[in-house]
Structure 1
Amino acid sequence: MRTYAIGDIHGYLDKLESAHRLISRDRAEHDDTLSPVVHVGDMVDRGPDSRGVLDFLLAGLDRGEPWVILKGNHDRMFAGFLDDPDHHDAGLRADLNWIHPRLGGEQTLASYGVTGVGERFLSDLGAAARRAVPAAHRDFLAALPTSFARGEALFVHAGIRPGVPLARQTETDLVWIRSPFLEDPRDHGALVVHGHTPVDVATHYGNRLNIDTGAGYGNALSAIVLEGRDAFLLTPQGRVPLRHE
Protein backbone atom coordinates (compact mmCIF):
# COMPACT_ATOMS: atom_id res chain seq x y z
CA MET A 1 0.00 0.00 0.00
CA ARG A 2 1.61 3.23 -1.19
CA THR A 3 1.14 6.63 0.43
CA TYR A 4 2.93 9.88 -0.29
CA ALA A 5 3.53 12.53 2.36
CA ILE A 6 4.88 16.08 2.53
CA GLY A 7 6.34 17.74 5.62
CA ASP A 8 5.67 21.12 7.22
CA ILE A 9 5.22 23.74 4.48
CA HIS A 10 5.20 27.02 6.44
CA GLY A 11 4.14 29.35 3.68
CA TYR A 12 6.63 28.26 1.02
CA LEU A 13 4.53 27.76 -2.11
CA ASP A 14 7.55 27.25 -4.35
CA LYS A 15 8.81 24.39 -2.18
CA LEU A 16 5.34 22.83 -2.09
CA GLU A 17 5.09 22.94 -5.87
CA SER A 18 8.52 21.32 -6.15
CA ALA A 19 7.50 18.55 -3.74
CA HIS A 20 4.42 17.82 -5.81
CA ARG A 21 6.51 17.66 -8.96
CA LEU A 22 8.67 14.99 -7.34
CA ILE A 23 5.54 13.06 -6.40
CA SER A 24 4.13 13.39 -9.92
CA ARG A 25 7.33 11.97 -11.38
CA ASP A 26 7.33 9.05 -8.96
CA ARG A 27 3.67 8.39 -9.76
CA ALA A 28 4.49 8.27 -13.46
CA GLU A 29 7.37 5.86 -12.88
CA HIS A 30 5.07 3.52 -10.92
CA ASP A 31 1.89 3.98 -12.99
CA ASP A 32 0.13 5.35 -9.92
CA THR A 33 -2.66 7.91 -10.03
CA LEU A 34 -4.66 6.94 -6.95
CA SER A 35 -2.34 6.80 -3.91
CA PRO A 36 -3.09 9.67 -1.53
CA VAL A 37 -0.73 12.52 -0.71
CA VAL A 38 -0.80 13.44 2.98
CA HIS A 39 0.28 16.92 4.04
CA VAL A 40 1.15 16.71 7.74
CA GLY A 41 0.14 20.27 8.63
CA ASP A 42 1.68 23.67 9.34
CA MET A 43 0.75 25.13 6.00
CA VAL A 44 1.12 28.70 7.26
CA ASP A 45 3.53 31.05 9.09
CA ARG A 46 7.17 32.11 8.63
CA GLY A 47 7.29 31.79 4.83
CA PRO A 48 6.25 34.49 2.35
CA ASP A 49 3.08 33.03 0.81
CA SER A 50 0.78 31.28 3.25
CA ARG A 51 -2.20 32.52 1.26
CA GLY A 52 -0.76 31.02 -1.92
CA VAL A 53 -0.22 27.68 -0.16
CA LEU A 54 -3.86 27.53 0.94
CA ASP A 55 -5.04 28.55 -2.55
CA PHE A 56 -2.88 25.81 -4.09
CA LEU A 57 -4.21 23.12 -1.74
CA LEU A 58 -7.83 24.17 -2.11
CA ALA A 59 -7.50 24.20 -5.90
CA GLY A 60 -6.12 20.66 -5.80
CA LEU A 61 -8.97 19.44 -3.63
CA ASP A 62 -11.47 21.12 -5.95
CA ARG A 63 -9.91 19.23 -8.89
CA GLY A 64 -10.41 15.99 -7.04
CA GLU A 65 -6.76 15.33 -6.24
CA PRO A 66 -6.33 12.47 -3.71
CA TRP A 67 -4.87 14.82 -1.12
CA VAL A 68 -5.20 14.72 2.66
CA ILE A 69 -4.37 17.88 4.59
CA LEU A 70 -3.90 17.62 8.35
CA LYS A 71 -4.10 20.34 10.98
CA GLY A 72 -0.85 21.63 12.45
CA ASN A 73 -0.39 23.82 15.49
CA HIS A 74 0.35 26.87 13.32
CA ASP A 75 -2.82 26.29 11.30
CA ARG A 76 -4.77 26.08 14.56
CA MET A 77 -3.21 29.28 15.91
CA PHE A 78 -4.08 31.13 12.70
CA ALA A 79 -7.68 29.93 12.88
CA GLY A 80 -7.85 30.88 16.55
CA PHE A 81 -6.62 34.40 15.81
CA LEU A 82 -9.25 34.84 13.12
CA ASP A 83 -11.95 33.84 15.59
CA ASP A 84 -10.57 35.98 18.40
CA PRO A 85 -7.32 38.01 18.21
CA ASP A 86 -6.91 37.56 21.97
CA HIS A 87 -7.02 33.78 21.59
CA HIS A 88 -4.13 31.93 23.22
CA ASP A 89 -3.59 28.38 22.01
CA ALA A 90 -3.54 25.77 24.77
CA GLY A 91 -0.23 24.36 23.53
CA LEU A 92 1.60 27.68 23.37
CA ARG A 93 3.84 29.12 26.06
CA ALA A 94 2.10 31.76 28.16
CA ASP A 95 4.58 34.48 27.18
CA LEU A 96 4.02 34.05 23.42
CA ASN A 97 1.19 34.73 21.01
CA TRP A 98 0.62 33.93 17.35
CA ILE A 99 1.96 37.25 16.08
CA HIS A 100 5.18 36.99 18.10
CA PRO A 101 8.17 37.16 15.69
CA ARG A 102 9.23 33.62 16.63
CA LEU A 103 6.00 32.14 15.29
CA GLY A 104 5.56 33.83 11.93
CA GLY A 105 1.99 35.06 12.12
CA GLU A 106 3.06 38.46 10.83
CA GLN A 107 4.23 36.90 7.54
CA THR A 108 0.95 35.05 7.19
CA LEU A 109 -1.07 38.24 7.65
CA ALA A 110 1.18 40.05 5.17
CA SER A 111 0.40 37.41 2.53
CA TYR A 112 -3.23 38.56 2.79
CA GLY A 113 -2.24 42.22 2.63
CA VAL A 114 -2.64 42.86 6.37
CA THR A 115 0.23 44.90 7.80
CA GLY A 116 0.98 46.94 10.89
CA VAL A 117 1.71 44.18 13.39
CA GLY A 118 3.11 45.87 16.47
CA GLU A 119 1.59 49.20 15.46
CA ARG A 120 -2.15 48.41 15.70
CA PHE A 121 -4.42 47.27 18.47
CA LEU A 122 -5.05 43.53 18.37
CA SER A 123 -8.76 44.12 17.88
CA ASP A 124 -8.06 46.29 14.81
CA LEU A 125 -5.58 43.75 13.45
CA GLY A 126 -8.05 40.93 13.97
CA ALA A 127 -10.83 42.83 12.22
CA ALA A 128 -8.56 43.56 9.26
CA ALA A 129 -7.58 39.88 9.08
CA ARG A 130 -11.19 38.74 9.09
CA ARG A 131 -11.94 41.09 6.20
CA ALA A 132 -8.88 39.95 4.23
CA VAL A 133 -8.95 36.17 4.69
CA PRO A 134 -11.49 34.53 2.36
CA ALA A 135 -14.31 32.60 3.98
CA ALA A 136 -13.17 29.52 2.04
CA HIS A 137 -9.81 29.67 3.82
CA ARG A 138 -11.42 30.07 7.24
CA ASP A 139 -13.80 27.18 6.60
CA PHE A 140 -10.93 25.03 5.33
CA LEU A 141 -8.82 25.67 8.44
CA ALA A 142 -11.76 24.99 10.75
CA ALA A 143 -12.52 21.63 9.13
CA LEU A 144 -9.00 20.17 8.97
CA PRO A 145 -8.67 16.65 10.40
CA THR A 146 -5.96 15.83 12.93
CA SER A 147 -5.05 12.29 11.85
CA PHE A 148 -5.17 9.92 8.90
CA ALA A 149 -4.67 6.17 9.14
CA ARG A 150 -3.76 4.03 6.14
CA GLY A 151 -2.25 0.58 6.05
CA GLU A 152 0.53 0.31 8.59
CA ALA A 153 0.87 4.09 9.06
CA LEU A 154 -0.77 6.77 11.16
CA PHE A 155 -0.23 10.33 9.94
CA VAL A 156 -0.44 13.21 12.44
CA HIS A 157 1.18 16.62 12.71
CA ALA A 158 3.20 16.40 15.92
CA GLY A 159 2.85 12.86 17.26
CA ILE A 160 0.75 10.94 19.76
CA ARG A 161 0.75 10.50 23.50
CA PRO A 162 2.28 7.04 23.95
CA GLY A 163 -0.01 4.40 25.41
CA VAL A 164 -3.22 6.32 24.71
CA PRO A 165 -5.62 4.89 22.06
CA LEU A 166 -6.10 7.11 19.02
CA ALA A 167 -9.75 7.71 19.87
CA ARG A 168 -8.67 9.21 23.21
CA GLN A 169 -5.83 11.40 21.94
CA THR A 170 -6.41 15.10 22.48
CA GLU A 171 -6.17 17.50 19.58
CA THR A 172 -3.61 19.53 21.49
CA ASP A 173 -1.31 16.51 21.76
CA LEU A 174 -1.77 15.61 18.10
CA VAL A 175 -0.73 19.08 16.95
CA TRP A 176 1.75 20.06 19.69
CA ILE A 177 3.36 17.09 21.46
CA ARG A 178 7.11 16.56 21.59
CA SER A 179 8.02 14.90 24.90
CA PRO A 180 7.36 12.09 25.78
CA PHE A 181 6.54 11.01 22.21
CA LEU A 182 9.92 11.75 20.68
CA GLU A 183 11.80 9.82 23.35
CA ASP A 184 9.51 6.78 23.46
CA PRO A 185 11.06 3.73 21.73
CA ARG A 186 7.97 1.52 21.90
CA ASP A 187 6.05 0.32 18.88
CA HIS A 188 2.83 2.33 18.67
CA GLY A 189 0.91 -0.28 16.71
CA ALA A 190 1.36 1.78 13.54
CA LEU A 191 4.28 3.69 12.12
CA VAL A 192 3.60 7.28 13.19
CA VAL A 193 4.46 9.69 10.36
CA HIS A 194 4.75 13.24 11.64
CA GLY A 195 6.36 16.66 11.37
CA HIS A 196 6.44 19.54 13.90
CA THR A 197 9.97 18.99 15.23
CA PRO A 198 12.55 19.88 12.57
CA VAL A 199 15.35 17.45 11.75
CA ASP A 200 18.18 17.81 9.26
CA VAL A 201 16.87 15.03 7.02
CA ALA A 202 13.71 12.93 7.05
CA THR A 203 14.46 10.24 9.61
CA HIS A 204 13.00 6.76 10.19
CA TYR A 205 13.19 5.68 13.84
CA GLY A 206 11.43 2.34 13.43
CA ASN A 207 8.32 3.32 15.39
CA ARG A 208 7.98 6.79 13.87
CA LEU A 209 9.05 8.75 10.80
CA ASN A 210 9.82 12.46 11.08
CA ILE A 211 9.45 14.35 7.77
CA ASP A 212 9.75 17.97 8.98
CA THR A 213 13.09 19.14 7.59
CA GLY A 214 12.74 22.81 8.50
CA ALA A 215 11.21 24.42 5.41
CA GLY A 216 10.02 27.24 7.65
CA TYR A 217 13.63 28.02 8.56
CA GLY A 218 14.92 28.14 5.00
CA ASN A 219 15.67 24.44 4.66
CA ALA A 220 14.21 21.76 2.41
CA LEU A 221 10.60 20.65 2.25
CA SER A 222 10.67 16.86 2.12
CA ALA A 223 8.38 14.59 0.14
CA ILE A 224 8.42 10.88 0.91
CA VAL A 225 6.71 7.74 -0.28
CA LEU A 226 5.74 5.01 2.14
CA GLU A 227 5.16 1.38 1.21
CA GLY A 228 4.17 -0.60 4.29
CA ARG A 229 6.72 0.59 6.84
CA ASP A 230 9.40 1.16 4.23
CA ALA A 231 9.99 4.82 3.42
CA PHE A 232 11.84 6.57 0.62
CA LEU A 233 12.80 10.21 0.24
CA LEU A 234 11.88 11.59 -3.18
CA THR A 235 14.73 13.48 -4.85
CA PRO A 236 15.42 14.76 -8.37
CA GLN A 237 17.60 11.64 -8.79
CA GLY A 238 14.81 9.29 -7.66
CA ARG A 239 13.96 7.40 -4.46
CA VAL A 240 16.44 7.27 -1.57
CA PRO A 241 15.67 4.65 1.10
CA LEU A 242 15.17 5.94 4.63
CA ARG A 243 16.67 3.24 6.82
CA HIS A 244 15.58 2.60 10.39
CA GLU A 245 17.97 4.20 12.88
Structure 2
Amino acid sequence: MTRAYAIGDIHGHLDKLEAAHALIAEDRARCGDTDAPVVHIGDLVDRGPDSPGVIQFLIDGQARGENWVVLKGNHDRMMEMFLREQPMVDTQLLYDHNWLHPRIGGIETLASYGVDVPEGSRTYQFHPKARAAVPERHRDYLANLPSHYRLGDLYFAHAGIRPGLPLDQQTEDDLCWIRKEFYDSNADHGPLIVHGHTPVDAVTHYGNRLNIDTGAGHGKAISAVVIEGRDAWVLGPSGREGVTREDPIFPI
Protein backbone atom coordinates (compact mmCIF):
# COMPACT_ATOMS: atom_id res chain seq x y z
CA MET A 1 0.00 0.00 0.00
CA THR A 2 1.31 3.44 -0.96
CA ARG A 3 1.28 6.02 1.83
CA ALA A 4 2.05 9.72 1.44
CA TYR A 5 1.52 12.87 3.43
CA ALA A 6 0.60 16.17 1.83
CA ILE A 7 0.34 19.77 2.96
CA GLY A 8 -1.90 22.34 1.29
CA ASP A 9 -1.13 25.89 0.13
CA ILE A 10 1.07 27.71 2.67
CA HIS A 11 1.09 31.39 1.59
CA GLY A 12 3.78 32.64 3.94
CA HIS A 13 2.41 31.15 7.17
CA LEU A 14 5.42 29.52 8.83
CA ASP A 15 3.61 28.89 12.11
CA LYS A 16 0.82 26.99 10.38
CA LEU A 17 3.34 25.02 8.31
CA GLU A 18 5.23 23.97 11.44
CA ALA A 19 1.94 22.92 13.05
CA ALA A 20 1.09 20.80 10.00
CA HIS A 21 4.46 19.04 10.24
CA ALA A 22 3.86 18.38 13.93
CA LEU A 23 0.58 16.63 13.08
CA ILE A 24 2.39 14.52 10.48
CA ALA A 25 5.06 13.56 13.01
CA GLU A 26 2.33 12.40 15.40
CA ASP A 27 0.71 10.27 12.71
CA ARG A 28 4.07 8.77 11.76
CA ALA A 29 4.58 7.77 15.38
CA ARG A 30 1.15 6.15 15.56
CA CYS A 31 1.54 4.11 12.38
CA GLY A 32 5.29 3.52 12.62
CA ASP A 33 6.05 4.91 9.14
CA THR A 34 9.20 7.00 8.89
CA ASP A 35 9.63 6.70 5.12
CA ALA A 36 6.47 8.10 3.47
CA PRO A 37 7.17 11.38 1.65
CA VAL A 38 5.63 14.69 2.63
CA VAL A 39 4.46 16.58 -0.45
CA HIS A 40 3.99 20.34 -0.22
CA ILE A 41 1.49 21.27 -2.92
CA GLY A 42 2.93 24.73 -3.68
CA ASP A 43 2.14 28.41 -3.11
CA LEU A 44 4.82 28.80 -0.48
CA VAL A 45 4.68 32.59 -0.67
CA ASP A 46 2.42 35.67 -0.81
CA ARG A 47 -0.26 37.16 1.44
CA GLY A 48 1.10 35.76 4.72
CA PRO A 49 3.65 37.38 7.06
CA ASP A 50 6.73 35.16 6.68
CA SER A 51 7.45 33.96 3.16
CA PRO A 52 11.25 34.05 3.81
CA GLY A 53 10.79 31.82 6.86
CA VAL A 54 8.70 29.32 4.89
CA ILE A 55 11.26 29.05 2.10
CA GLN A 56 14.17 28.70 4.52
CA PHE A 57 12.31 26.09 6.60
CA LEU A 58 11.81 23.95 3.50
CA ILE A 59 15.38 24.44 2.27
CA ASP A 60 16.76 23.45 5.66
CA GLY A 61 14.52 20.39 5.95
CA GLN A 62 15.51 19.05 2.56
CA ALA A 63 19.17 19.82 3.25
CA ARG A 64 19.15 17.66 6.39
CA GLY A 65 17.63 14.78 4.44
CA GLU A 66 13.93 15.01 5.20
CA ASN A 67 11.82 13.08 2.67
CA TRP A 68 10.02 16.22 1.54
CA VAL A 69 8.78 17.09 -1.93
CA VAL A 70 8.07 20.77 -2.59
CA LEU A 71 6.09 21.67 -5.72
CA LYS A 72 5.87 24.95 -7.59
CA GLY A 73 2.65 26.92 -7.26
CA ASN A 74 1.53 29.82 -9.39
CA HIS A 75 2.49 32.32 -6.66
CA ASP A 76 5.99 30.85 -6.42
CA ARG A 77 6.28 31.11 -10.19
CA MET A 78 5.12 34.74 -10.25
CA MET A 79 7.64 35.70 -7.58
CA GLU A 80 10.54 33.95 -9.28
CA MET A 81 9.69 35.48 -12.66
CA PHE A 82 9.43 38.99 -11.21
CA LEU A 83 12.81 38.67 -9.46
CA ARG A 84 14.75 37.64 -12.55
CA GLU A 85 17.45 40.02 -13.76
CA GLN A 86 14.88 41.22 -16.28
CA PRO A 87 11.51 41.06 -14.49
CA MET A 88 8.77 39.10 -16.23
CA VAL A 89 5.00 38.94 -15.82
CA ASP A 90 3.42 35.49 -15.89
CA THR A 91 1.46 35.14 -19.13
CA GLN A 92 -1.31 33.28 -17.28
CA LEU A 93 -2.29 36.42 -15.35
CA LEU A 94 -5.10 38.75 -16.35
CA TYR A 95 -3.79 41.40 -18.73
CA ASP A 96 -3.85 44.19 -16.12
CA HIS A 97 -2.33 42.13 -13.27
CA ASN A 98 1.21 41.42 -12.16
CA TRP A 99 2.84 39.95 -9.04
CA LEU A 100 2.45 43.28 -7.22
CA HIS A 101 -1.28 43.63 -7.88
CA PRO A 102 -3.07 44.14 -4.52
CA ARG A 103 -5.04 40.89 -4.97
CA ILE A 104 -1.96 38.71 -5.43
CA GLY A 105 0.26 39.23 -2.40
CA GLY A 106 3.64 40.11 -3.82
CA ILE A 107 3.67 43.41 -1.92
CA GLU A 108 3.30 41.52 1.37
CA THR A 109 6.06 39.12 0.38
CA LEU A 110 8.50 41.91 -0.44
CA ALA A 111 7.58 43.58 2.87
CA SER A 112 8.51 40.36 4.66
CA TYR A 113 11.97 40.68 3.06
CA GLY A 114 12.18 44.30 4.20
CA VAL A 115 11.28 45.97 0.91
CA ASP A 116 8.51 48.56 0.73
CA VAL A 117 6.79 49.26 -2.60
CA PRO A 118 5.81 52.95 -2.61
CA GLU A 119 2.42 53.61 -4.13
CA GLY A 120 2.74 54.82 -7.69
CA SER A 121 6.35 53.70 -8.05
CA ARG A 122 7.68 52.06 -11.20
CA THR A 123 9.28 48.65 -11.33
CA TYR A 124 12.74 49.93 -12.27
CA GLN A 125 12.79 52.09 -9.13
CA PHE A 126 12.66 49.22 -6.63
CA HIS A 127 13.41 46.04 -8.61
CA PRO A 128 17.18 46.13 -7.88
CA LYS A 129 16.46 46.54 -4.16
CA ALA A 130 14.00 43.63 -4.28
CA ARG A 131 16.53 41.34 -5.97
CA ALA A 132 19.16 42.30 -3.42
CA ALA A 133 16.82 41.68 -0.48
CA VAL A 134 15.70 38.20 -1.57
CA PRO A 135 18.67 35.84 -1.19
CA GLU A 136 19.89 34.24 -4.39
CA ARG A 137 19.41 30.87 -2.73
CA HIS A 138 15.70 31.61 -2.28
CA ARG A 139 15.34 32.79 -5.88
CA ASP A 140 17.13 29.72 -7.22
CA TYR A 141 15.07 27.45 -4.99
CA LEU A 142 11.81 28.79 -6.40
CA ALA A 143 13.13 28.60 -9.96
CA ASN A 144 14.05 24.94 -9.61
CA LEU A 145 10.93 23.62 -7.88
CA PRO A 146 9.31 20.72 -9.77
CA SER A 147 5.79 21.18 -11.10
CA HIS A 148 4.55 17.65 -10.34
CA TYR A 149 5.32 14.47 -8.44
CA ARG A 150 4.17 10.90 -9.15
CA LEU A 151 4.00 8.20 -6.51
CA GLY A 152 2.25 5.00 -7.51
CA ASP A 153 -1.45 5.74 -7.98
CA LEU A 154 -1.02 9.35 -6.84
CA TYR A 155 -0.11 12.39 -8.95
CA PHE A 156 0.56 15.67 -7.19
CA ALA A 157 0.37 19.07 -8.90
CA HIS A 158 -0.40 22.49 -7.49
CA ALA A 159 -3.40 23.34 -9.68
CA GLY A 160 -4.25 20.03 -11.35
CA ILE A 161 -3.92 18.64 -14.86
CA ARG A 162 -5.43 19.21 -18.27
CA PRO A 163 -7.98 16.40 -18.74
CA GLY A 164 -7.39 14.15 -21.72
CA LEU A 165 -3.70 15.02 -22.04
CA PRO A 166 -1.24 12.28 -21.06
CA LEU A 167 0.50 12.99 -17.79
CA ASP A 168 3.91 13.06 -19.42
CA GLN A 169 2.70 15.84 -21.74
CA GLN A 170 1.29 18.20 -19.11
CA THR A 171 2.66 21.76 -19.20
CA GLU A 172 3.85 23.87 -16.30
CA ASP A 173 1.25 26.49 -17.25
CA ASP A 174 -1.54 24.02 -16.53
CA LEU A 175 0.09 22.30 -13.58
CA CYS A 176 0.46 25.68 -11.84
CA TRP A 177 -2.64 27.49 -13.07
CA ILE A 178 -5.48 25.35 -14.47
CA ARG A 179 -8.92 25.59 -12.87
CA LYS A 180 -12.23 25.29 -14.71
CA GLU A 181 -11.38 22.57 -17.23
CA PHE A 182 -9.94 20.39 -14.48
CA TYR A 183 -12.65 21.04 -11.90
CA ASP A 184 -15.44 20.46 -14.40
CA SER A 185 -14.05 17.09 -15.52
CA ASN A 186 -15.47 13.85 -14.14
CA ALA A 187 -12.97 11.81 -16.17
CA ASP A 188 -10.95 9.04 -14.62
CA HIS A 189 -7.45 10.53 -14.84
CA GLY A 190 -5.76 7.25 -13.94
CA PRO A 191 -4.00 8.19 -10.70
CA LEU A 192 -5.72 10.26 -8.05
CA ILE A 193 -4.77 13.90 -8.66
CA VAL A 194 -3.83 15.66 -5.42
CA HIS A 195 -3.91 19.46 -5.76
CA GLY A 196 -4.53 22.81 -4.14
CA HIS A 197 -4.79 26.25 -5.82
CA THR A 198 -8.48 27.01 -5.17
CA PRO A 199 -9.57 27.06 -1.53
CA VAL A 200 -12.37 24.82 -0.31
CA ASP A 201 -14.02 24.88 3.11
CA ALA A 202 -12.66 21.43 3.93
CA VAL A 203 -10.36 18.92 2.25
CA THR A 204 -12.56 17.33 -0.39
CA HIS A 205 -12.23 14.01 -2.24
CA TYR A 206 -13.98 14.00 -5.62
CA GLY A 207 -13.07 10.45 -6.59
CA ASN A 208 -10.72 11.50 -9.36
CA ARG A 209 -9.04 14.35 -7.44
CA LEU A 210 -8.35 15.51 -3.89
CA ASN A 211 -8.31 19.24 -3.10
CA ILE A 212 -6.22 20.04 -0.02
CA ASP A 213 -6.17 23.87 -0.15
CA THR A 214 -8.24 25.10 2.78
CA GLY A 215 -7.52 28.80 2.49
CA ALA A 216 -4.33 29.74 4.32
CA GLY A 217 -3.93 32.54 1.79
CA HIS A 218 -7.19 34.01 3.12
CA GLY A 219 -6.57 33.66 6.84
CA LYS A 220 -7.80 30.09 7.20
CA ALA A 221 -6.06 26.79 7.91
CA ILE A 222 -3.26 24.84 6.31
CA SER A 223 -4.39 21.23 6.07
CA ALA A 224 -2.16 18.20 6.47
CA VAL A 225 -3.44 14.92 5.06
CA VAL A 226 -2.36 11.31 4.95
CA ILE A 227 -3.18 9.30 1.84
CA GLU A 228 -3.18 5.51 1.73
CA GLY A 229 -3.93 4.04 -1.66
CA ARG A 230 -6.65 6.41 -2.89
CA ASP A 231 -8.15 7.05 0.55
CA ALA A 232 -7.34 10.19 2.52
CA TRP A 233 -7.71 11.55 6.04
CA VAL A 234 -7.18 15.01 7.46
CA LEU A 235 -4.77 15.11 10.40
CA GLY A 236 -6.12 16.87 13.48
CA PRO A 237 -5.29 17.13 17.18
CA SER A 238 -7.12 13.85 17.83
CA GLY A 239 -5.58 11.99 14.91
CA ARG A 240 -7.12 11.07 11.57
CA GLU A 241 -10.41 12.62 10.56
CA GLY A 242 -12.58 11.85 7.52
CA VAL A 243 -12.60 14.08 4.46
CA THR A 244 -15.59 15.51 2.63
CA ARG A 245 -16.50 13.33 -0.36
CA GLU A 246 -18.13 14.38 -3.58
CA ASP A 247 -17.65 11.47 -5.94
CA PRO A 248 -18.05 12.07 -9.68
CA ILE A 249 -19.80 9.57 -11.89
CA PHE A 250 -17.18 8.23 -14.24
CA PRO A 251 -18.37 7.73 -17.85
CA ILE A 252 -18.76 4.14 -18.96
Q: TM-score category by the smaller chain?
A: over 0.9
Equivalent residue, structure 1, for 2:60: 59
State the Cα distance separating 1:125 from its structure 2 match: 1.8
Identity of paired residues, percent? 60
Equivalent residue of 1:180, what SS?
A: helix
State the Cα distance separating 1:165 from its structure 2 match: 0.7
Cα distance in structure 2, aligned partners of 1:89 and 1:136: 21
Equivalent residue, structure 1, for 2:241: 240
Cα distance in structure 2, aligned partners of 1:214 and 1:196: 9
1:82-118 Cα deviation digits (max 9, x unpaired)? 0156521011110111001100001110111111342
Equivalent residue, structure 2, for 1:222: 223
Cα distance in structure 2, aligned partners of 1:243 and 1:47: 26
Equivalent residue, structure 1, for 2:145: 144
What one-letter code is carried by the residue in structure 1 that aligns with 2:44?
M
1:112-165 Cα deviation digits (max 9, x unpaired)? 111134253211221111101111111111110000000211000001000001
Equivalent residue, structure 2, for 1:168: 169
Matches within 5 A, 1:208-219: 208-219=209-220
What one-letter code is carried by the residue in structure 2 that aligns with 1:219?
K
CA pair 201-243 structure 1, distance change in 2 beyond 3 A: closer
Equivalent residue of 1:19, what SS?
A: helix
Measured on the aligned residues, the alpha-carbon RMSD in Å equals 1.1
CA pair 135-84 structure 1, distance change in 2 beyond 3 A: closer
Contact 2:203/2:244 (<8 A) preserved: no
Equivalent residue, structure 1, for 2:180: 179
Equivalent residue of 1:54, what SS?
A: helix
Equivalent residue of 1:226, what SS?
A: strand
Contact 2:202/2:244 (<8 A) preserved: no
Equivalent residue of 1:71, what SS?
A: coil
State the Cα distance separating 1:244 from its structure 2 match: 3.3
Cα distance in structure 1, aligned partners of 2:11 and 2:64: 23
Range moving further from structure 2, 116-125 or 66-75:
116-125
What one-letter code is carried by the residue in structure 1 that aligns with 2:218?
Y
Equivalent residue, structure 1, for 2:101: 100
Contact 2:7/2:225 (<8 A) preserved: yes
TM-score normalised by the chain length of structure 1:
0.97
Structure 1: stretches of 5+ with no match in the other structure? none
Cα distance in structure 1, aligned partners of 2:148 and 2:42: 10
What one-letter code is carried by the residue in structure 1 that aligns with 2:127?
G
State the Cα distance separating 1:32 from its structure 2 match: 1.3
Equivalent residue, structure 1, for 2:75: 74
Cα distance in structure 2, aligned partners of 1:85 and 1:214: 32
Contact 2:6/2:39 (<8 A) preserved: yes
Contact 1:71/1:175 (<8 A) preserved: yes
CA pair 23-176 structure 1, distance change in 2 beyond 3 A: same
Contact 2:202/2:243 (<8 A) preserved: no
**May I ask how many residue pairs the two structures share in their alignment?**
245
Structure 2: stretches of 5+ with no match in the other structure? 247-252
1:45-96 Cα deviation digits (max 9, x unpaired)? 0000000100110110111000000000000000000015652101111011
Contact 2:11/2:51 (<8 A) preserved: yes
Equivalent residue, structure 1, for 2:5: 4
Cα distance in structure 1, aligned partners of 2:34 and 2:124: 46
Equivalent residue of 1:60, what SS?
A: helix
What one-letter code is carried by the residue in structure 2 that aligns with 1:204?
H
